[in-house]
Amino acid sequence: MQQIGIRQAREQFSELIDAAEGGEDIVITRQGRPVARLTAASPQKRALPPLKAFRESGCRPGTPSATLIRGERDAG
């Protein structure tokens, strides 16, 4: 875990974001006391619709499943 002062954090913000994205925890301090923590955000997962709803929404005989899946993926 890396500790860094506020002034230095402002100057190196892009690098700190890259480090946090890579899994490193960064503690930002003010006058030597921890005041904030920078960590990677957890990825947001999008739930797929229920299979029955998916089938009813666009299943057309002869349509490749890959086309249907891409359409559903790109809609959200």
Is residue 22 a contact partner of residue 12, using CB atoms and an 8 Å limit? Answer: no
The residue among 63 and 31 whose pLDDT is bigger is 31
Question: Percent of the chain, pLDDT > 70?
Answer: 93
- Give mean pLDDT, residues 30-59: 82
Domains in the chain and their CATH numbers?
2-38 (3.40.1620.10), 47-76 (no CATH)
Q: Is the pLDDT of residue 63 over 70?
A: yes
Rounded Cα–Cα distance for residues 36 and 58 (Å): 48
